[in-house]
Every structure is written in C-alpha cells, then in structure tokens.
Structure 1
Amino acid sequence: MIVMLRARRGCSLTGKLRDAAVRYRQSVTSWNSSASSNKYRETVLLPRTDFPMRPSGQELLEKELQIQRECGFSELYSWQRNRKGKEFCLHDGPPYANGDPHVGHALNKILKDIINRFQLMRGSRVHFVPGWDCHGLPIELRALAECGEEAKTLFPIEIRQKAKDFAERTIERQRAAFIRWGVMADWDKCYYTFDKQYEAKQLEVFHKMFDEGYIYQDYKPVFWSPSTRTALAEAELEYNQQHVSRSAYVKFPLVKVPSKLASASGNASSVHALIWTTQPWTIPANQAVCYMPNAEYSLVKCLNTEELYLLGTECVESTATILDAKFEILQTVTGSDLKGGVCRHPIIPGRESQLLPANHVTMVKGTGLVHTAPAHGMEDYSVASHHKLSVDCLVDENGFFTEAAGLELQNKYVLNEGNETVIQMLHGANMLLKEDNVRHSYPYDWRTKKPVVIRASKQWFIDTASIKDRAQELLKKVKLIPHSAMNSMLAMLDRRTYWCISRQRCWGVPIPVFYHKETAEPLINKYTGNHLIKLFKEHGSDCWWTLPLDQLLTKEILKKSGGSDVSDYVKGEDILDIWFDSGISWAHVLEGNVADVYLEGKDQLGGWFQSSLLTSVAAEKRIPYRKLVVHGFTLNESGEKMSKSIGNVVDPDVIVNGGLDPNQDPPYGADVLRWWAAESNVFTEILIGKNILQAARDDIFKLRNTLRFMLGNLYNFNPETDGVPSEQMLMVDQYLLHLLQDYSTKVTEAYKECDFGKVIRLLLAFINRELSNFYFSIIKDRLYCEDEKSTKRLSCQTVLDEVLDVITRSVAPILPHLAEEVFQHQSNQKEPQSVFRTGWIKASSVWRKPGIVEAIEGACAIRDSFLSSIPGKNALEYDITIIIEPSLLLELMEQLQGEEISSTSQLNELMMASHTTLLTAIPRDMPAESDLIEGKFEINLEGGDIIEETSYKVIVHSATKERCPRCKKYTSTSALTPCQRCLDVIAGKWSV
C-alpha cells in the first residue's frame, strides 16, 4: 500500500505553477472580454453571484450591523445555553472601568470570543459571563478630577457615589464596543465588583481566609505612593527604567572593630565601613550595616587620605576607580569574621549600627556592605525582625519627613529636598565620599506615573508564604499557553512572601474590622463577619459609611465578642486592594466550578492570575482554572507604547468605523479588527497600525475572492440531488478532498491549542496554494465548458461545496460576520440558519486516500518539469508527450489517462496543456523543434520498506491543432469551429 511521498509535492507553491495559473486565467478572461463577438459565450457556464469581493466604507459597516441583527448575534449566547452539551467555561477577567475601550480590550475580548465560538460550534454549552472591575483609585481619581475644587469638600459617601457614576458610564461605553466587535455574551447578565451580592461574597472569602490564619495585621514596610497616599501591591507598580536617583558613597565610622581586624587597623577611629546607596534619604532611619557571611572583605588604606576602609574584596578595584583613589589592601577576612563590629551613625549623634550578616547582600554593585533601614526596605525589615532591631518610620503618608527625623529634615519631601538635605548633612559631617546621579529602574505608581517609596506602616496582609507552596504545586498541573509563562509565574509566586491588601481610600470594599479606641486592637470574628455579610447583601458596602456604628456592631455581637460598650470602638477606614476584589471573582461567577480557561495579558501573571490562584487555594484548597492563555501587550507599528500625550494611540472605534477623514482613516469593520487579534495571540508585544490593518484587510479580500469564486460556481448546484460520491469523483477531486481533510484536522488542532495565528497561516496557505494556485487553475475548463450536469463537472462542484463549507466554518470563530454572510449566500439553503447553530467542520475520514496522493503528486512533478521548459508561455499553446517505462509510476499515470493521447483526460487537465500523450518509449517520429526534459520521481511503499525511483521524459512542442473558439484550447480542426468536446456539449441546443 502506498503510504507517503518522499518527494515534495510538485503542485506546491512554485513560481512556475503560479505563472501558468495566471496565464490560464488570462486566457479564460477572454470569454468576458470578447462577449460581443463570441457567439459561443452563452453556452459557457461562467460564475454567477452577487457576493461582493471588496465591500468598503459605509456599505461594509451597514452590512456587518445587518448581519448582527439578522443572524441573531444578540440571541446566540442564550440559545446555546438552552441546549444540551458539555459545559465549557471561560472566566472573563474583568477589565477596569476607568476609560474608553482601547485596542488592549479588543485583543483580549476578541481572543476570548474566538475560543467561545469555536467551543460553541463543537457542541459545548459555553459559560461566559462578562464582568467589570469597578472599585479602586484610578476610578476614584477620575471621578474627583471631574469635580474640580469641589472634590476637596466631599464626604466619603459622596466620593463613592461619584466614583460609581463614573464607573457605570464607562461600563456602558465599553459594553457597546464589545457588542460591536461581535463578542458573544448575554450582555444583560454581567458581573460587577460593586454589586451587593459580589461584595457580600468578597467578605465571605475574606473571613474564610482570616479564620484560616492567612490574613493578619502587622507593621512592616510596604510600597507606598505619596501621590495617592496609599499602600500598593507589587502588581500596582510599573518600573521606570529612566528614573534618576541621587547615589552616595557614605562612611560609617567603626566604634567597635571586629577582633580579626583589630591588629591591622591600629587606631579604631580611623576605620570606616563603606556603603553605597541610591536612596540617601533613608540613612536617617539606618539601624545596621549588613555583610555577606561567606564572602571576602578587605581592610584597605586609602593612600589619598590615609583613612582605613572596610569593603568587599571583589569591590575594591571598582570602588577605588569610582572614588578616584588608590587603595592598599592591609588585610582580608571572611564576612563571618565581621561579627560583633559596631558602627557610629554618620549623622545622628549617639546612635550605633551593628554589623550584621544578611543573605540579600551581593557584590554586584556598591561596596559589598549594605546600609540597612528596616522601615524602608523589605530585606532590611527581615534583618530587623531576626535581630530585634527597631523599625522606626520617619516618613509620613505624603512622603515628607516627620518631626521624629529632626528639625533639619522635618516637612521635607524625601525624594527631592529631603534627599538633598541628607546629602548636605553627610557632607557637613565629613561622611560623604562621593555623590552622583544614577539612572536605574525604579518603581512608580501605575496610576499617577509618579515614584513610590517604601515605608513601614500598619497594614493588613495575606500570608502568601504559607500559601505559595501549595499554589505552586497546583499551578504545575495547569496548562499554560505559551508554556514559557509557567516559569515566570512560579518565580513571581516564589518571591511573594506577603501581600498587602489594605488601601487608604474610600472607593472600594471596606476591610470589615473595628478597632478599640484605646488599645487599637482589631475586632474581627465570625460574629462580626456574618452580620456584615448580611448587611452587605441588603445594602451593599455603602452601609459601612451610611449606617450608624451600633447597627454595624450591635450590642449582641459585641457581647459575643467579649466587649461591653460599642462606643469603645471605631470602624476601620481602609478598603481592600482591588486585586483582592477581582481575585475572588471565581467565588461569585464560577459558583463552585473550575474554569476551563482564563485568558489575559502577560501582566496578569503577577496580577489577576495570581490573586485568583492565591485566594482560591487559601479559601478552597484548589485552583480556579485548568488552562491559562497569555497574550502580549499592544504597541504601535513602530514598537512604541501608545500614549495620548504622544498622539500615537490606535483607537479601535476608528479602526471599525473610520475617522473624521475617511481617506486617512477608512472604516475597516469589526472583522479586520478580529483578524488582527487572531494573528496576535502570542507572548510577545503585538503591533498595530495602518500598514498592519491594511494587510489584514487585504488578506480578508483574498479570502473573500476565494469564497466568491466557489459561490459563483455553485449557483446551479444542489448537493442533495447533484452531489457525487467521493469514490466516483475524478482523482484530482478526491485528492483535493484529501488535502481538505488534512487542513480540517490541523486547523481544528490549532483552535484547540488557542493558536489562532496558526489557524490564519493554515487558511491562507490552503486558499493560496491548494486552491487558487492549483485546484482552481485546473478545474475552470471543466466548470465552464463541460455539460452542466456532466459527472466531471458535478464531481468538481461537489468538492467546491465541501471546500466552501469547511473554509466558512473554519474561519467563523475569527470572522463571524463574513462567515454568516457566506452562509446566507449559499444557494442550497432554503431558510439559512446561523452558521454557529449548525456545528463545526464535518470533514470525513474517507477523504484520506494515500494512493491517489501518489498519482496526483507524481503528475504534478511531471507538470513542473514541463512548465519549467516554457517560462512565460501559456501551457495551452503546447502538446506534450510523457514517456515512462513500465513501473508503478506508469500505472498511476494510466489511472489518470487510459488512452494514449487525450485533450480531456485527468492527466491532461493536470498538465494544463492542449494534448497529452502517454508512452513507454520515445517515439521514432519526434516532432520538429521539440524539447526533451528528463526527471525522476520517487515513490515510497509500505512505510519505506520499498522505495521505487522512476525516471520520466517529457517532450514539449507547439500545439498542432487550432484554437477552439469556445474553450480556448488548441483542440479544434478549425479556428472557426468548436472542438469535438465543445460540439458534444452544445449539440441539440442550437445549430452552428
């Protein structure tokens, strides 16, 4: 049995075949161009269809909207929910309700919709509930900005109402855009994080995690935004690579020299531990100088000043260069030998700083000794906790030094004038060796785009260190697309030891805790929790601000909690981090189930993906998703981040509906936007711009042209009465079905893997290579010139009907408007239904026929040899003779042409010549002025057990007959008379 080809298929995308196809199309076009003079035109079956090839402008927009109405886009989700089928759940990560829809929204929502529509067509009952993230500072700031000066006088409940109004207006704009893009959902049943039921569910999860010991209050350093006066989680930061800080090399005088250095140091007062910092403002809060226990440290003498410095041995040379000094190494010790050393604070009299070991110290930058301020660094805080050091925060909520920092620093902003003052104080104390500006990556508040600081404050935290091991274990069982994202997310989880969830604002869900006025001890338990959950279900979280304290904390609850007087307590003023808000969406939307897919941008590896994972594992001991699909960020065509201030934003509304100047910004419609999104589901940055959109539109036009050709040639075909069984088809038709089955399998697998870019590549390759450049080029003679009901023509139409159906269904999830338009144009649909209500591709396994593949691809190899000998010429102008000695290849060619010479055989159709002769030996009377081409074709039998390589020869010479006035082939005895095939077709219809 023939199972595969060793040679590449001859009918693939070769320049020779493309040229021949173009020339053949040009000859066919003559039917149209000579309509008035060709009396045989009316006997030619030319395509008929009103399917437009290049709709544009208002016509395109009106057509898409018409399709949405007539094909039931708005009812499709509810229809499929009411049928039987396997449940498929894609949980929608809620977009933030703080601005107009942008291309990031388009990318995300369209990718989700492609998955949902594919699953729907495969028979699943899709569960997809769109949602919005409605709380938080960005919305609050936008709402307050609309109020102007009035914002300063508003009470919290008034701010909340204005923020909610703003969020609701934003949601409606975004919802309208999502509907216009063709996103399938029940848009009347969405979820919102400000809903009463959602907020109540959030409190349930919070209390469950609190009861499990995962939520606690503590005083420790957190990322703090002076510009918004609130704590931030790491997911709320963005890093500015161009930030400039004041860096300083500072001396810490040793008042107690480690014993191992005492002999070499001589006078202790002249020994200084040398540190380098990019945040001099933190030096007033210094409590220690840390070293690396296993590294080497050197005591050096500065030959410029005669001072003795202690620093890492690896850093001696680089530090000397930076300080423009010469160092002489006096002694080298290990880090552990520094134990017991004590420094004097460089600018605060009477304060000492111990030399302490720490694992976070490196020799990569600086001096190998690290200035440690526990209130202003995460690692610093860990050192302080281990060694019981003081954690004194000298910076207030606005980023200014407090009174505790001293008169020189009080009320100065730490990142500019405060920094400068500290540097001047160091200089005045003769403790500053060098200061300079350094450009480096620095965390910024992602909302205000202003730098943050790290400062200690009392906050509420989730103990992620106790959750992450189980979370990582479960995450490894999740499928990530692309898989490379797995390591990124695991690493992020590994670094996250705690999660600050309290925020110092008012637009959000309050942290449900009361504080004792005198002791500041928090009151939170199952009694307070159950009561507040009931109140939230009835009133929403506004009740925290609208109801009196004795209704929030009743006497009965206080008695059960061990208290006595409600007036002894105050309610907390912090709200929950919005990542906690959205992170518990699984509890409200999934209702105890696990989502099949979460799909978001790569920033959510540290955001919603992670907050959902941590809260679900903590509260339910399980992961809320089976698969994560990750996509990149959208950039403009030049690879730059889009910004309104720069003016390089690509607006999806302008893409779809066009801009003020249609010549500059033409309307592309929703399907072009969807095509762009489908090509872009990769874990890289995704470009969008005019050239990219035009390329997408051109690709769709190519597809439309292919679909139009098939529709036009099926106008008189009814598959129920005219269809030809595959076993009765011509071999090339069976071969095309074989290719179609292979395409169907590959495109289905690509959809399953969410590789929509591959779907598009497969589609374009199939329509360009297999259809336009191969199949369509060789079947036009059959379609146009054979008898309308001949088996040869019906065989071809049966294939076209199958191909049209497969292509339409395969592209439907990506281009629903185009697919529905094609479906409505199919003439065999008496009452056309939506393509989405009729299922997925119905490819048949019987279409796979390896033996036929050998025959067709062998013929294509021979045909390529023929075409290579007539570059730039029309193949119809030639007759060819193929010589193959007795072999398997000859047997295959004889299946394509039973007679010795033919102008109508399957072999001649493939050769695209006027006549083909098949012989076993070179004829004695070779035509004059003919060319002889030689070639070889290899056939692989029985999985490689038998390999047969066969030689062949092709004799090429000019056609010997006249050009038929009807079919344009050189097969007629007279230029005025049709050839015999054409005469047989038109016989009985009219006389010549």
Structure 2
Amino acid sequence: MLLCRVGSVSWGLGLRSGALRAPALSCRIHRVGTSGDAARFRDTVLLPHTHFPMKLNNQKLLDRELQIQRECGFDQLYTWQRERKAKKEFCLHDGPPYANGDTHVGHALNKILKDVRNRFEVLRGTRVHYVPGWDCHGLPIELKALGQLHAGDLTPLQVRRKAREFAEAAIARQRAAFQRWGIMADWGNCYYSFSGHYEATQLRIFQDMHSKGLVYQDYKPVFWSPSSRTALAEAELEYNSEHLSRSVYATFTLTALPPKLAPSLGNALGKVSVLVWTTQPWTIPANQAVCFMPKAQYSLVKRVDSEQLLLVATERIASLTSALGTDLQNVTTFVGSDLEGGVCQHPTISGKEVPLLPANHVTMAKGTGLVHTAPAHGMEDYSVATHFSLPVDCMVDEEGRFNELAGKDLQGQAVLDKGTDTVICMLQAAGALVKEEWCVHSYPYDWRSKTPVLFRPSKQWFINTANLKDKAKESLQKVKVIPESARATLMAKLDGRTYWCISRQRSWGVPIPVFYHRETGEALLNKYLEHPGLLYYTVGQVSVCV
C-alpha cells in the first residue's frame, strides 16, 4: 500500500499480488493530531534559502534598493566600461525629455529600453557612449513655470528667470530618479539646451542656414493656438477624431454669369446661387472666392420644394438630395471650366463680390463640389490667393477672437464659440442659410492645452524644407529603419512638408537672432565675423555679440 497525504486526507494506492490486475484505489482519512506531525515533513521539501526578507515596505524598501545599487557599483559601471580597451564603440544619442515635471511611466519606458540596449553592448565587449540630456526650453516649461500667473503681468526677463528655475528643479528630480533606476550613463556630463554653449551653436546654425537661403520670413496662415497664443508646428498637434462642429450649407448668389454659360442661363441671373458646405462657418466673413474643379462635371439643379436654382457638382447630387431632404431636378450639365469668370455676392458683407476660380484641391468626397475659400484660414485657400492675387486679411486676433476688420457685429467674439453663432445668424438673416447640422470629424488640437487650434495668418519665420528634401531622402536611404515599412511613411512626410514654422510667440527659448525696424517692422539681419567663435549681428552702427 502506497500512502499519499494531502492536507488531512491520506490516499492509498494498493496493488494485488498474483496475476496482473488493475490497481485498486482506496481512501483512508488521517487527521493530523499535533504540530509535531506536520513538522516531520518540513525537511522533505527542498527550497533555496535566502537572507532577503519576504517583504519590505516604505523606507526599508528604499534603503535596501540603494544598498544594492551601492554594493553592485551601478554608479561606476559607465566609467568602468569607458576605461576598458575595446575595438568597437556604440553611440546612443539620447532624445531628451522635457524638463517640465516629475518622472512618469513614459520616462521609465524610454530610459530602461535604452539601458537594456547599452548593457547588451557592454556584454558584447563594446564601449558605450551615452550622454543624457534635457530639452529645457519651450511652451510646456513656460506654462508650468507660470502656473496661474499671467505672462502679461511679467517682463520677459522675469518669465525667463522663473522658467529656468522651474526647469533646473525638474532636471534635478528627474536625474535623481534616473540614477536610482540604475541607468548606466555619463551623469556627470549631461547636456542642457539652455546652456550658453548649446544656444550659441543654435544661433550659428540659424545664421548658416539663413545665409544659404533656407530660413525666411513670411506672412501666411499657420496653425495657431488661441489657448497658448502662439504659432504651432504640425508636430505640436494632435487630431481629435470626435471633434464636433456646426456645419452649414450656404449660398452665394451669382451676380455675373460665367461667359460660357451666359447664353443658356441669361434669364436666370439673380435666381442662380452657388451652394457651398463648410464645417467652419466663422471663416465665411473672410471669404474671397468660391473654387471649382475645372475637369469635373457640374449641374444646375432646381429644388422641387422651391424655385431655388443651385450650382453643384453632378457627382454630389444624390448625396445632397438626402442631406437637404428634397429632390433636386437636373436642369443642365456642363464642365467645371465653364464656371470661370462668374462672380458671386458675398452672403454676409453687403456690396462685396467674390469670383469663381479653378483649383485642383477641390474634391468630391464631401460637400457640394464647390469650396468656400478664405485665404487667411487655410493653406490650400492661401495657395489660391497667391496665384490669383487675392487679399489675405486677418480678421482674428491672437486670442482667437474677431478683430475690428470683421465689423462691429463680430468684433470681440470668440470665433469657435459665440462668433460661429453670430455668423450663422447673419447667414440666416441674409437668406443664404440652406441647412445647419452637427458634424463629427477630425480636427487639430493643441497637444498641450488639449483645445482646438485654428489657421490664422501671421508673420513668422520658416525653414524651407522643400530645398532640403532631396538631401534628407538621400540620407534616409542609408538609415536602417525598423520596421522597414515605416520608411515609406517617413518619405511621404518629407514630400508633404515644404516648410517648417520655427518661430513662437513666447519668452522662454532661443530667440530668432534678428532686429526689426521700429517703424516698418522689416527684419534686419547682417552677419559678419570679427573674431573666431564670436557671432555679431548689426543694426546700423551697433554690433551685438552672441
């Protein structure tokens, strides 16, 4: 009989002698009477012995962690591996974190993954070069440093002092955390983007790029954050796919028929309107044109529930019938280029006329096939304005409110809030509002304040990335990309981005090294070197050394 005990139950497995038979299973209940009985079996279980306690809490846990680091010499590992002889060297460039707060799981993921790779290279017998650093400038730090304070109440020097103090404190906390994690790095030789040497290098690079024609100043629409009151680059945006907008279908009445359509539509002058659709009704006061696709088919349709005649893309008639809730009878069809030369009455500005213009950015995926064009609030619109010499007047201030150019009815109203309400009321009063509806779509947000941004023209500094594109593509071909499929995405980004806005309306950062004429606002930049290592910028007879 073989006994096997589990807890207080003993199982017996009996084998009968003689001929081979199936084993008989029997069960016997055995109750453990004393603790001594249990102790008899303790030594039969073989487990490793350790001096580590089973559990540590609070300060004891921290003390033991620091003891392990000290005894293992984690802080000396980087120096040790740098001093040994090795044929190969592995250099890992540290993409710096922002010095704008305490460490979080993102920092841990970043630093630990880098540390795993560095230690792997050490095990391979390679010397590792890894110098950590911090990005110490920019809007995130300035916003955190000012807190509830209003930047307008402080001088630029006061803002910079507060931002630097905040960044230095954040760096100290982050560095202490990284060292406690045991990250192998040259912690005694970190780099900081607010150091004088670092800033001077940036300014020299700016001057070099400017002399090569890669840096220029221009007045054109850029992504603008009303919450931060500054221009943004596309990398500073995040797109909210659940953004809710009030979209409208609105009409622009034809006041002059296109020459090619005049013979057939002469009797309809004053009754024909161009139908447009937009998710940004607040931009209609800035309208300068209505664009069409030259090679597409367009139709004059009549609403069966009224005498209204509308010009729309033939391809969009079915969708518009559903959207407007009425049948649209096709009166006549023609090619888009026949619309050229037509003129419309602006729906909210009395006496203002806007032309019908050809444009290749018009699509048939949504809307009516005819695009309301406000050059101040869109890059495609701005391109049309540049080609046809249309005005690019800015009716929106830095806080995202209509300014005096928008008129008394709109001045001071936030364009994404009350201003939109007012513009829709103006369209309704003019008889130009066909339909209003809510639209869920993707819209750019400021990734810091998590609030919507808008396109707004302003004078900014840009890098001409179009001239760098070919060299960047050539360099990218020499880079190993993991996964390889991501290479196509990088190439597409290079093709699609022809400029990069580098100026910001902030006090904390490396300034654009130029002076401006007090009256004309013209940028004055005249560089010359009088001594190696010194960079001079001159205004008149005054030289400023950087």
TM class, shorter-chain normalised? 0.7 to 0.9
Shift of residue 525, structure 1, vs aligned partner: 3.1
Shift of residue 411, structure 1, vs aligned partner: 1.6
Other-structure match for 1:294: 295
Letter in structure 2 aligned against 1:353:
V
Q: For the residues of structure 1 that align with 2:349 and 2:312, how far apart are their CA atoms? A: 22
Kindly tell me: are residues 81 and 530 of structure 1, through their superposed partners in 2, closer, same or farther at Cα, counting changes over 3 Å? Answer: farther
Other-structure match for 1:71: 72
Other-structure match for 2:511: 510
Other-structure match for 2:230: 230
Shift of residue 349, structure 1, vs aligned partner: 2.2
SS in 2 for 1:188: helix
Letter in structure 2 aligned against 1:410:
Q
Q: For the residues of structure 2 that align with 1:155 and 1:90, how far apart are their CA atoms? A: 40
In the TM superposition, 1:710-789 aligns within 5 A as none
Letter in structure 2 aligned against 1:379:
E
Segment drifting more, 157-166 vs 289-298: 289-298
Q: For the residues of structure 1 that align with 2:176 and 2:333, how far apart are their CA atoms? A: 70
In the TM superposition, 1:90-109 aligns within 5 A as 90-109=92-111
Other-structure match for 1:788: none
Shift of residue 489, structure 1, vs aligned partner: 2.3
In the TM superposition, 1:392-403 aligns within 5 A as 392-403=393-404
Other-structure match for 2:30: none
In the TM superposition, 1:726-875 aligns within 5 A as none
Q: For the residues of structure 2 that align with 1:319 and 1:427, how far apart are their CA atoms? A: 19
In the TM superposition, 1:322-721 aligns within 5 A as 322-527=323-528, 534=534, 557-558=538-539, 563=540
Kindly tell me: are residues 532 and 493 of structure 1, through their superposed partners in 2, closer, same or farther at Cα, counting changes over 3 Å? Answer: farther
SS in 2 for 1:503: coil
For residues 282-311 of structure 1, the C-alpha deviation after alignment (integer angstroms, 9 at most, x for no partner) is 111111111122221111111222121111
Shift of residue 260, structure 1, vs aligned partner: 3.8
Q: For the residues of structure 2 that align with 1:179 and 1:103, how far apart are their CA atoms? A: 15
Q: For the residues of structure 2 that align with 1:532 and 1:233, how far apart are their CA atoms? A: 34
- Which structure carries more helix by proportion? 1
Other-structure match for 2:212: 212
Are the equivalent residues in 2 in contact too, given 1:260–1:333 (CA < 8 A)? no
Q: Which one of 138, 163, 171 corresponds to residue 140 of structure 2? A: 138
Q: For the residues of structure 1 that align with 2:419 and 2:533, how far apart are their CA atoms? A: 45
Kindly tell me: are residues 328 and 193 of structure 1, through their superposed partners in 2, closer, same or farther at Cα, counting changes over 3 Å? Answer: same
Shift of residue 474, structure 1, vs aligned partner: 2.1
Other-structure match for 1:160: 160
Letter in structure 1 aligned against 2:96:
P
SS in 2 for 1:300: strand
Alignment coverage as a number of residue pairs: 506
Q: For the residues of structure 2 that align with 1:173 and 1:161, how far apart are their CA atoms? A: 19
SS in 2 for 1:118: helix
Are the equivalent residues in 2 in contact too, given 1:245–1:438 (CA < 8 A)? yes
Are the equivalent residues in 2 in contact too, given 1:200–1:534 (CA < 8 A)? no
Shift of residue 483, structure 1, vs aligned partner: 2.6
Kindly tell me: are residues 203 and 531 of structure 1, through their superposed partners in 2, closer, same or farther at Cα, counting changes over 3 Å? Answer: farther
User: Which consecutive segments of 4 or more residues in structure 1 shift more than 6 A?
Assistant: 33-38, 529-533
Kindly tell me: are residues 53 and 311 of structure 1, through their superposed partners in 2, closer, same or farther at Cα, counting changes over 3 Å? Answer: farther
Are the equivalent residues in 2 in contact too, given 1:236–1:446 (CA < 8 A)? yes
Letter in structure 1 aligned against 2:274:
A
Q: For the residues of structure 2 that align with 1:494 and 1:320, how far apart are their CA atoms? A: 38
Other-structure match for 1:281: 282
Q: For the residues of structure 2 that align with 1:452 and 1:37, how far apart are their CA atoms? A: 72
Other-structure match for 1:934: none
Shift of residue 488, structure 1, vs aligned partner: 2.5
Segment drifting more, 126-135 vs 48-57: 48-57
SS in 1 for 2:188: coil
Shift of residue 410, structure 1, vs aligned partner: 1.5
Structure 1: stretches of 5+ with no match in the other structure = 1-32, 536-551, 572-992
Letter in structure 1 aligned against 2:390:
L
Q: For the residues of structure 1 that align with 2:380 and 2:470, how far apart are their CA atoms? A: 21
Shift of residue 55, structure 1, vs aligned partner: 6.2
Other-structure match for 2:126: 124
Shift of residue 222, structure 1, vs aligned partner: 0.3
Shift of residue 51, structure 1, vs aligned partner: 7.1
For residues 858-898 of structure 1, the C-alpha deviation after alignment (integer angstroms, 9 at most, x for no partner) is xxxxxxxxxxxxxxxxxxxxxxxxxxxxxxxxxxxxxxxxx
Are the equivalent residues in 2 in contact too, given 1:311–1:369 (CA < 8 A)? yes
Shift of residue 240, structure 1, vs aligned partner: 2.0
Shift of residue 493, structure 1, vs aligned partner: 2.3
SS in 1 for 2:310: strand
Shift of residue 212, structure 1, vs aligned partner: 1.2
Letter in structure 2 aligned against 1:252:
F
Shift of residue 135, structure 1, vs aligned partner: 0.8
For residues 844-866 of structure 1, the C-alpha deviation after alignment (integer angstroms, 9 at most, x for no partner) is xxxxxxxxxxxxxxxxxxxxxxx
Structure 2: stretches of 5+ with no match in the other structure = 1-36
Q: For the residues of structure 1 that align with 2:381 and 2:298, how far apart are their CA atoms? A: 21
Q: For the residues of structure 2 that align with 1:360 and 1:68, how far apart are their CA atoms? A: 61
2:254 counterpart of 1:254? yes
Q: For the residues of structure 2 that align with 1:47 and 1:208, how far apart are their CA atoms? A: 69
2:198 counterpart of 1:198? yes
Are the equivalent residues in 2 in contact too, given 1:296–1:332 (CA < 8 A)? yes
Letter in structure 2 aligned against 1:214:
L
Shift of residue 68, structure 1, vs aligned partner: 1.1
Q: For the residues of structure 1 that align with 2:297 and 2:212, how far apart are their CA atoms? A: 45
- Which structure carries more strand by proportion? 2
Shift of residue 274, structure 1, vs aligned partner: 0.7
Q: For the residues of structure 1 that align with 2:120 and 2:495, how far apart are their CA atoms? A: 36
Q: For the residues of structure 2 that align with 1:152 and 1:281, how far apart are their CA atoms? A: 28
Are the equivalent residues in 2 in contact too, given 1:200–1:533 (CA < 8 A)? no
Other-structure match for 2:240: 240
Normalised TM-score (structure 2)? 0.87
Letter in structure 1 aligned against 2:84:
R
Q: For the residues of structure 1 that align with 2:532 and 2:309, how far apart are their CA atoms? A: 64
Kindly tell me: are residues 284 and 530 of structure 1, through their superposed partners in 2, closer, same or farther at Cα, counting changes over 3 Å? Answer: farther
Are the equivalent residues in 2 in contact too, given 1:514–1:570 (CA < 8 A)? no
In the TM superposition, 1:974-989 aligns within 5 A as none
Q: For the residues of structure 1 that align with 2:531 and 2:49, how far apart are their CA atoms? A: 68
Q: For the residues of structure 1 that align with 2:432 and 2:47, how far apart are their CA atoms? A: 90
Q: For the residues of structure 2 that align with 1:37 and 1:375, how far apart are their CA atoms? A: 85
Q: For the residues of structure 1 that align with 2:192 and 2:184, how far apart are their CA atoms? A: 18
Shift of residue 514, structure 1, vs aligned partner: 0.7
Other-structure match for 2:14: none
Q: For the residues of structure 2 that align with 1:37 and 1:52, how far apart are their CA atoms? A: 24
2:83 counterpart of 1:82? yes
Other-structure match for 1:272: 273
For residues 215-271 of structure 1, the C-alpha deviation after alignment (integer angstroms, 9 at most, x for no partner) is 100000001111111111111111222222121111011122224433443322111
For residues 524-549 of structure 1, the C-alpha deviation after alignment (integer angstroms, 9 at most, x for no partner) is 1322x8889747xxxxxxxxxxxxxx
Letter in structure 1 aligned against 2:235:
A
Letter in structure 2 aligned against 1:238:
E
Normalised TM-score (structure 1)? 0.49
SS in 1 for 2:364: coil
Q: For the residues of structure 2 that align with 1:37 and 1:516, how far apart are their CA atoms? A: 93
Q: For the residues of structure 1 that align with 2:336 and 2:443, how far apart are their CA atoms? A: 29
Shift of residue 354, structure 1, vs aligned partner: 1.6
Q: Percent identity?
A: 61
SS in 2 for 1:502: coil
Larger radius of gyration: 1
Other-structure match for 2:20: none
SS in 2 for 1:246: strand
SS in 2 for 1:480: coil
Kindly tell me: are residues 435 and 365 of structure 1, through their superposed partners in 2, closer, same or farther at Cα, counting changes over 3 Å? Answer: same
Q: For the residues of structure 1 that align with 2:55 and 2:483, how far apart are their CA atoms? A: 36
Letter in structure 1 aligned against 2:254:
L
